[in-house]
Structure formats: C-alpha cells, structure tokens
C-alpha cells in the first residue's frame, strides 16, 4: 500500500512515507481493516518508519566549485594540518579562519530558534526587504591561537573587496601587527574569498601584503567541506545560539548580540559595521593580475598559494 510512497536511508533501516496517517487509515478501511490514524502511527513506527524533514548536507555547486578529486580532498586536509602546525611554531606568524555568515534582514523579522521569555515576540508575517531597515552581511575573522575574533557587518554585497577590507580592518586593530611577518588564512573554496577569485588575490596583494609588508598564505577547504572551517564551530555556532529566536530590529541590536557572544573556553568577539556600498561584477585587468606576486604551492596549487609584498617576482611553484 505504501511501497511507492516510501523513502529511506539505504545505509540503515530508517524509512519514512509521504502518505499521511489519515490517508493510510482510509485506505485500510476500504479493505475492511478498521484502524485509527494513531494505530497506524504505532504500526509504522514498529516497521521502522518515522517523520523526516529535509537534511541540509550537500553544499557544493558544480558550476562554481573548483573541481577536486576525493584523493585530493584527503590530501588537502592533511596539508592544511601540516601548514597550520608550521605557522603555529613561528613567533612572527598568525593563523586566522575567515568566512561569511548568512545574510540577515534588519527589522522586526522572524529569527529561527527559541528563547526563554514570558511571551513570544510579535514579528512581521513576511520577510519583505521593503519592510527592513537594511541588510546585514556578517563576515567573520577568527584568530585560532588567541580564541578571539571580529565580525564585520556589511550593508551591501558580499564581494571580495568587502572580504579583504574586513580582514584589513581586523589586522589594523591588532596591537602586535608590527611584529606579524606572515599570515595564514583558512578559507572556503568559493564565494567572496574563493580559490579562483582573482579580485580576492589582488585585494590581498594591495591591502594586506604591500600595506603591512606581510606574506600571506591562503589554504582553501575543498568544495562541500566548509563546515570543517574552524570559524564555523568555534565562533559562528556560538553566535547563532546567542541570537537565536531574537529579532534583529536594528544594526545596533545585531552588533550587541555579536559582542555579547561568549563561550566556556573564553571566546571574545568584537563587532563593527561597514557602511560602504560594494559593487558586484568588478573584474581586474590583465595588468593588475600581473602585479600579484603569487606563488602557488606544489601541493594542489589551485587551493594553496602564498602572496608576497615584493612585486615583479617570477611566478613559480612553491611550498612553505
């Protein structure tokens, strides 16, 4: 009866059906089997059925993701671990993890999650942009060694220029920035800090390497593995819990929730807002691309590279 309406995990005994309990009960009555929907529920549970929702698991977009084999993906994780260890052993180096968080509407809008209160907040029934004060585009920088970070809230588009400006803003605020000679950035493989994003590399060259005389190494996580990026489970997860179920009515409200995010391990997060409007679709010229002192690594060069402040150096394969 429900065979054609049954789905399940082929690797386990879990099953679920798209037919409702009432519908199954009616179909059984047509066969002179009188059972109520509650009895049908118990019978289904005994057979290994349960209610299921969609599970967000697959992240990669084949049109945008950098092609990479399973062997290379395993190799990349081992290489990131190796590079992190090398940078952690240097006194003049620092390791950061960067990423964009989901865009939020600023206003009296529904925010997923629950919070303890005497009465639930009354929010807008629809998430129309016309009802919002504006957009809030969080870009995070997390310092792994010191367990602290910065979230820059943009009001426009999540572009590579915005990403680099956010990192530069974080670097500018570091009390020991004069002692930092090399920087390791752990980033996802796509988006504003994507591995194939030329404007991202150009921004690092001009606004980080040359401005602060710092050598920057970037290691990208393979497509579909962004949840392994340290910022996700060390910083963004705590932030999501802190403002869960709370409408972000103003920019100040959003910033205060970020600044008030803590954890048992001593996590400290600062928050600032970037009021600039960033244009999308800007591409660098061939001349600008030639100005980037880019040194791809021997190990998966499309995901690992170093950018150095001195210009006009010959491009060749390199490993730290």
Residues 132, 67 contacting (CB under 8 angstroms)? no
- 3-class SS of residue 26: helix
Note the maximum CA span of the chain. 85
Residue 73, phi-psi category: left (phi > 0), alpha (psi -120 to 50), beta (remainder): alpha
The whole-number pLDDT of residue 67 equals 67
- At 134, list the tokens: 């504006």
- At 130, list the tokens: 């016309």
From residue 108, alpha-carbon distances to 124, 126, 150, 232, 306 in Å are: 6, 10, 25, 26, 44
Residues 138, 104 contacting (CB under 8 angstroms)? yes
The whole-number pLDDT of residue 130 equals 77
How much is the pTM? 0.76
148-159 per-position pLDDT tens digit: 999 999 999 999
The whole-number pLDDT of residue 115 equals 65
The whole-number pLDDT of residue 312 equals 45
Q: How many CB atoms lie within 10 A of CB 170?
A: 24
Q: How many CB atoms lie within 10 A of CB 130?
A: 6
59-107 per-position pLDDT tens digit: 444 445 556 788 889 999 999 999 999 999 999 999 999 999 989 988 8
Give the C-alpha separation, 232 to 6, whole Å.
Answer: 35
Per-residue pLDDT of the chain (320 residues; tens, 9 = 90+): 554 444 444 434 454 455 677 877 887 888 888 889 899 888 878 877 776 655 555 444 444 555 678 888 999 999 999 999 999 999 999 999 999 998 998 888 778 876 656 667 778 777 788 787 889 999 999 999 999 999 999 999 999 999 999 999 999 999 888 899 999 999 999 999 999 999 999 999 999 999 999 999 999 999 888 889 999 989 999 999 888 888 898 999 999 999 999 988 999 999 999 999 999 999 999 999 999 999 999 999 999 999 999 754 544 444 54
């Amino acid at each position: 009866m429900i065979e054609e309406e049954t789905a399940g995990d082929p690797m386990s005994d879990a099953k679920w059906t798209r037919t409702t309990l009432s519908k199954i009960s009616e179909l059984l009555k047509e066969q002179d089997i009188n059972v109520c929907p509650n009895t049908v529920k118990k019978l289904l549970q005994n057979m290994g059925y349960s209610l299921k929702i969609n599970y967000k698991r697959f992240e990669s977009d084949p049109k945008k993701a950098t092609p990479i084999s399973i062997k290379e993906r395993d190799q990349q994780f081992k290489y990131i671990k190796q590079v992190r260890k090398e940078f952690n052993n240097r006194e003049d180096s620092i390791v950061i993890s960067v990423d964009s968080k989901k865009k939020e509407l600023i206003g009296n809008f529904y925010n997923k999650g629950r919070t303890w209160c005497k009465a639930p907040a009354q929010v807008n029934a629809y998430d129309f942009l016309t009802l919002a004060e504006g957009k809030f585009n969080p870009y995070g920088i997390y310092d792994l060694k010191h367990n602290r970070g910065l979230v820059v809230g943009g009001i426009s588009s999540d572009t590579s220029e915005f990403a680099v400006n956010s990192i530069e803003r974080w670097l500018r605020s570091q009390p020991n920035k004069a002692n930092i000679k090399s920087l390791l950035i752990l980033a996802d493989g796509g988006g504003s800090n994507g591995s194939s994003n030329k404007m991202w590399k150009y921004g690092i060259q001009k606004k980080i390497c040359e401005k602060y005389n710092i050598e920057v190494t970037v290691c990208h996580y393979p497509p579909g593995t962004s949840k392994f990026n340290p910022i996700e489970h060390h910083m963004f997860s705590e932030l999501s819990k802190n403002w869960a179920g709370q409408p972000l009515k103003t920019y100040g409200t959003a910033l205060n929730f970020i600044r008030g995010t803590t954890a048992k391990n001593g996590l400290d997060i600062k928050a600032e807002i970037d009021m600039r409007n960033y244009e999308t679709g800007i591409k660098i010229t061939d001349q600008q691309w030639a100005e980037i002192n880019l040194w791809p690594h021997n190990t998966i060069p499309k995901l690992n590279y170093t950018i150095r402040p001195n210009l006009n150096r010959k491009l060749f394969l390199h490993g730290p």
